[in-house]
Amino acid sequence: MSTPEPLDGSTPTSTSPPDRSGFDAGAQSAKSSALRKRRAQIKEELSQLQRDFVDTFDRAKDSDNPALSGLRVDWFLRALPGVGPTKTTKILERLGINPRATIGGLRINQRTAFRRELVELTKNLQPRRTIGRLVVIAGPTAVGKNTVISEILKARPEIEMSVSATTRPPRPGEVDGVDYYFVPDEQFDALVESGELMEWAVVHGTHRYGTPRGPVLRQQRAGKTVLLEIDIQGARQLRDGGEEALFIFIAPPSFDALAERLESRGTEDSDERQRRLATAVEELGARGEFDHVVVNDVVQDAAQDIVDLLEATTPRGD
Ligand code: 5GP
């Protein structure tokens, strides 16, 4: 239960006794509730055959993300069409696996046996491809992501852009709900705690940005391709969280070209440019984590490369 807001505007006091260890019980319980929500969603996607069982298992077994590695094996099996509690118990007994074990907690031989079983159980399942795909585009500062994306949207106007939430104030001409959802810090905190953000990050060391899950899911369920333009940290979170998406990295033709672009657009002072370039060095090192790297030398060519990629990688049945 949350502490009621005092009407005199003072800071709310917690009803629980102070904990000298620094352990924040409220934050912990919000975290576990977000985790439970995420796991329930993964199970729902599995049972709707919107994600692949073996692929999800492969990601979960080595993942650092507790939403994935903490998935219970009995839960996982029961998401399979036609596998109920009795069959689940029998399979786990035969494999010598405790039903309460998590995927991340399986021993090597158990993993091998469980995976073999999964391959067998899922070999005749037909994935339902009614759900639209997620495309994540990231790249270092000043690489020209926005211009490339505008060109992609001209060629493929049916693609939906996700609208992020941010704590940064709007710039002149920016519209709330169109460019971003501009939210105060407390609202952003609430979005994080409720698990409503698929990913979020502090970008350029100042403001927070995050992708609201609800609108993305609704558009995907309507069969739409949804495009996310986010920073590298956010893309990494989605990948580590086992999100099924096409991850595209936009790279500059060279580091010098990036520095020149940053300087010529003239929107940052010299200190800020140095800071962004230092981040860019790190970000460029992340290119290997993406499914595809597209070099933005000529904007139209980069956009066309991405449109081609979308077509070439469209799952059959879409
Ligand atoms: P700007 O403030 O210039 O609009 O955006 C700054 C950076 O924030 C961009 O490089 C963009 O990639 C990143 N960004 C925008 N939305 C999101 C989001 O939802 N999540 C993350 N992680 N980064 C975002």
238 and 291 fall within a common domain? yes
Q: What are phi and psi of 313, to 5 degrees?
A: -105, 10
89 and 139 fall within a common domain? no
Q: Select from 99, 122, 145 the last residue of a domain.
A: 122
Domain that holds residue 175: 134-313
Q: How far is the CA of 231 from the centre of ligand 1 (A)?
A: 6
109 and 161 fall within a common domain? no
* pLDDT for res 49: 82
Q: Select from 71, 87, 122 the last residue of a domain.
A: 122
122 Rama class: left (phi>0) / alpha (psi -120 to 50) / beta: alpha
**Which residue's alpha carbon is at the smallest distance from atom 17 of ligand 1?**
230
41 and 118 fall within a common domain? yes
* pLDDT for res 125: 80
* Pocket lining: 199 vs ligand 1, CB cutoff 6 Å: yes
The structure's pTM equals: 0.69
Mutate to test the pocket of ligand 1, among 141, 203, 208 (most ligand atoms within 8 A of CB): 203
244 and 100 fall within a common domain? no
Asked if the structure places residue 51 within a domain, the reply is yes
Asked if the structure places residue 15 within a domain, the reply is no
Asked if the structure places residue 225 within a domain, the reply is yes
Helix (H) or strand (E) holding 209: strand 207-212
287 and 147 fall within a common domain? yes
* pLDDT for res 38: 85
113 and 141 fall within a common domain? no
46 and 162 fall within a common domain? no
84 and 198 fall within a common domain? no
**Which residue's alpha carbon is at the smallest distance from atom 14 of ligand 1?**
230
SS3 181: strand
Which amino acid is present at 125? Answer: L
* Pocket lining: 283 vs ligand 1, CB cutoff 6 Å: no
Q: Select from 71, 91, 122 the last residue of a domain.
A: 122
212 and 241 fall within a common domain? yes
For helices 299-312 and 145-155, give the axis angle rounded to 10 degrees: 60
**Could you give the number of structural domains in the chain?**
2
pLDDT mean by block of 10 residues, the chain; 318 residues: 33 40 63 82 84 89 88 93 92 96 96 95 75 93 92 95 96 94 96 93 92 92 92 94 92 93 86 88 93 96 95 62
36 and 118 fall within a common domain? yes
Of residues 66, 76, 69, 70, the one with CA closest to residue 44: 76
| C-alpha torsion sign, points 53, 59, 63, 66 | negative
Asked if the structure places residue 265 within a domain, the reply is yes
CATH number for the domain that contains residue 237: 3.40.50.300
Asked if the structure places residue 215 within a domain, the reply is yes
Helix (H) or strand (E) holding 151: helix 145-155
* pLDDT for res 74: 95
* Pocket lining: 191 vs ligand 1, CB cutoff 6 Å: no
Asked if the structure places residue 262 within a domain, the reply is yes
* pLDDT for res 129: 56
* pLDDT for res 46: 87
